Amino acid sequence: MLRRLGLDVIRWPVGTSVAVDFVSVAEKTSADVVVDVGANIGDFAVAVRARGFPGRIVSFEPGSTSGATLVARASRDARWDVYRMALGDKQEELTLNVPVATDLASFLPVSNRGEDHFAEHLATVRSETVQVERLDAIWDTMVGGDRAMVKVDTQGWERHVLEGASGVLDRIVGLQVELSVNSYYDGAPDYLEMLAWLRELGFSPTWFHPISWHDGSLGEIDCVLCRAG
């Protein structure tokens, strides 16, 4: 009802959101664009804008239902662009598994841990064939900018997205990635493996935010990183 009136509901105070730390790094690095990969319905972009980021936001979301909602929300912001596609390490078509909770859509199958602890959220409702592009291949036409903050929330597909950005890493000043401590998806890289690889790429962690846990064990965490030096 509120969205039909042109209103969005966000967590208050805004300072409780991971977007605070993301925008803090964006400000310190003079970022000129935010790239939101795996945008779902746009909650992250809304929070970043509410926190005061004034520049362009470019969102990528392949899911049909969530993508339609995303386009509608972005239409009210002249500096927010949306592209209905996924990102990866090569141009191809892939099958996206869309579960009950659409923000958990993934190219990867659900792991035994995911089925044990979050079956009601991760149960696949439908599969969709979606287009996948490399970020460095579409950067100049769809993104632009020389000092980008990139957020990747793709349910275990994060490394593929960043491998597809290898040609524009020099234009990325900061990242936010979702890391798997105890993965809910088969094939998702371990968080220590990802952190070591990101360090090799020149990025150093600045903040960690727990996302999910079960029986006292962390499942996933958000990590905000800044280019070292």
Give the model's pLDDT for residue 7. 67
Does the structure show a pLDDT above 70 at 212? yes
Are 202 and 172 in contact by the 8 Å Cβ rule? The answer is no
Q: Is the pTM of this model over 0.75?
A: yes
Does the structure show a pLDDT above 60 at 11? no
| CATH architecture of the region 3-227 | 3-Layer(aba) Sandwich (3.40)
Write the CB contacts of 63 (distance below 8 Å, at least 6 apart in sequence): 40, 96, 98, 102, 105, 128, 130
Over range 104-119, report the average pLDDT.
83
Give the model's pLDDT for residue 183. 84
Give the model's pLDDT for residue 16. 47
CA 88 to chain centre: 12
Residue pLDDT, tens place only, 188-197: 999 999 999 9
Domain boundaries, given as residue ranges, for the chain: 3-227
Sheet of strand 124-133, all strands in order from the earlier edge strand to the far edge: 86-87, 124-133, 92-99
Residue pLDDT, tens place only, 137-162: 999 999 999 999 999 999 999 999 99
